[in-house]
Amino acid sequence: RLRLSHFLSPEPTLSSHREEDQTPATMFTARICCCSATAASKIMAFIAVIMAGWVAIQAWFDPIQQWIGITIWQSILLVILILSGILVFIACSRRNPTLMIPIIIIQAISFLTILGDAIYYLIWMTTGYSLWNWIYTAAMYAITVIVSGFVLHCHTCCYKLLILKAHHHHHGGV
């Protein structure tokens, strides 16, 4: 059975051979692609800040920007992502997994928001679309949801790796 505690349990299981521990072990990986989970989390936090910064700059300098609320929201989002990105770097350098919790929560909320927006938009807002426009929109949302889920996975694995390294000093450096 898959439970939420398997994703955020305080003790990741890497070498347990008991049958009930095999599912939690599959939810944790110390390496993502070609780098460690901590490096992947740092990269994802940096990319998130760059992307939010790009959108915020566009909102600040858009000459046809009609609604100040978007500019304010993008500015607040940029500040939140910068602060949580700094926490990721501090968490990884000091091996403090608690500092990873804000970015995990922010990314989980972002993932659910994107998923909800995709469902709402594809059901209610595409009534005048042709089939190809609907497929294109669905594909763009699918890619966004997958990338957002991958980023959440990177941060969660970093959190678990930091816990593992904090409790078991024989594991290498971050």
Alpha helices in 62-130 (DSSP H): 68-94, 101-124
Q: Please identify which residue in the block is written with the tokens 């993008």.
A: 74
The per-residue pLDDT for 80 is 87
The per-residue pLDDT for 59 is 72
Strands 35-36 and 31-32, bridge-based pairing: antiparallel
The per-residue pLDDT for 57 is 80
Distance CA(152)–CA(108), nearest Å, equals 7
The per-residue pLDDT for 67 is 66
The per-residue pLDDT for 21 is 42
The four Cα atoms 20, 21, 26, 27 give a dihedral, to 10 degrees, of 100
Domains of the chain by residue range: 4-167
CB atoms inside a 10 Å sphere around CB 44: 23
Distance CA(165)–CA(157), nearest Å, equals 12
Is residue 154 packed enough to be buried (19+ CB in 10 Å), middle (13-18) or exposed (0-12)? Answer: buried
Distance CA(49)–CA(40), nearest Å, equals 14
Residue 131, both tokens: 């089939």
The per-residue pLDDT for 22 is 44
Distance CA(137)–CA(140), nearest Å, equals 5
- Could you give the angle at which helices 131-167 and 37-61 cross, rounded to 10 degrees? 130
Distance CA(25)–CA(32), nearest Å, equals 14
The per-residue pLDDT for 72 is 80
- Report the chain (174 residues): mean pLDDT per 10 consecutive residues: 50 48 55 84 88 78 67 81 90 90 89 85 78 86 88 90 77 50
Distance CA(160)–CA(30), nearest Å, equals 8
